[in-house]
Structure formats: C-alpha cells, structure tokens
Amino acid sequence: MKAPKLLERISLAIVAGIRRYFKIRTFAIIFDERQRVLLCHRSDVDLWNLPGGKVERNELPRQAVMREVKEEAKVKVQIRRLAGIYINFTSRAISFVYVCQIVKGKPGANDETDATAYFAYERIPRYTYPHHRQWIRDVQNMPIGFLLKFQSGPSAKRLLKQGKL
C-alpha cells in the first residue's frame, strides 16, 4: 500500500474513533484581497458563521471543508493550511479550522445560507458565532503556524435566545 493511501486510512480510523465521543466539524476562513473574511448568513436563524459544518462518515476534515464551502458559499476552495483544532468539552465538539483560498466561483447564497459577504474584523456583524469570531482573530494574530485550543461556553443559538449575543 502506498504511503498516502495508508495515511488516509489511518486518518479515517482516528476520525472514526474521535466520532464516538465528539461531534466533528470543519470550517474555512477565507480572506479576500483586502483581508476581509467571508461569512455566511444562515437561513434558519439570524446568525452569521464561517462556511463549514459536519464531517460526514468516511470523510476527512480537509475533504469536508471543501465540500461544505461549495455547499454553503457556492465556491471551490483550495486549503492553504490547517489553522487550528478547537475542542469544546461543553458541546462535545471538535472543530478543524482551515485557511482556504477560492479557486473557482464567486460566493453566493443557497438553501442553507440566505447571504454571503466579506467583512473586516471590526465590522463583523453582532450576530456572529462567538467562537468563529475568536478563530478569525487567532488566524489574524498568528498568520503562520497551528493552534490547539480548548473552548467552552453556551452555543450561539442559546446566547441569541437569552439576548446575550
């Protein structure tokens, strides 16, 4: 068996093992030429988020992020780097966050998102997932390298319901 195929099989086995205890998610941080970040507005709730979502069975996080960005923002991306892995014990979720670059298409809405837009960090809408805001700041503060961080706290939906977002 060739090394890349073996590495992929090992990676899938690790992800399958993690999945027994955690939800696995993946998100893309995509900057435009003015260093504004791409956000998607959800069609089911008044929240902005980074394009991304759930890692499906037999899928690696890097494969999932490309699929999710295509579904949510209608663009094809290339991964530039893994920026961080964020572990949230409160929600039992692990999020793989990648810095990506658009290689084909222009961002647009679909049935999951009713709008997409680029924002300077200082102008990110109030109703944006707090963890996503933190991930964007982490990438801006650390343009190279990789982070492993533990996070906690209520979900953005809960904060929105409580009027705290």
Q: What is the pLDDT along the chain (165 residues), one digit of tens a residue?
A: 566 678 788 888 888 888 889 999 999 999 999 999 999 999 998 999 999 999 999 999 999 999 999 999 999 999 999 999 999 998 899 999 999 999 999 999 988 899 999 999 999 999 999 999 999 999 999 888 889 999 888 777 788 788 877
CB 62 within 8 A of CB 79: yes
Q: Which CATH class is domain 3-161?
A: alpha beta
20-67: pLDDT as tens digits: 899 999 999 999 999 999 999 999 989 999 999 999 999 999 999 999
Domain layout of the chain by residue ranges: 3-161
In 3D, which of 144, 164, 145 has the Cα closest to residue 155? 164
Q: Which residues contact 27 (CB under 8 A, 6 or more apart)?
A: 49, 50, 51, 52, 53, 65, 68, 95, 96, 97, 98, 132, 135
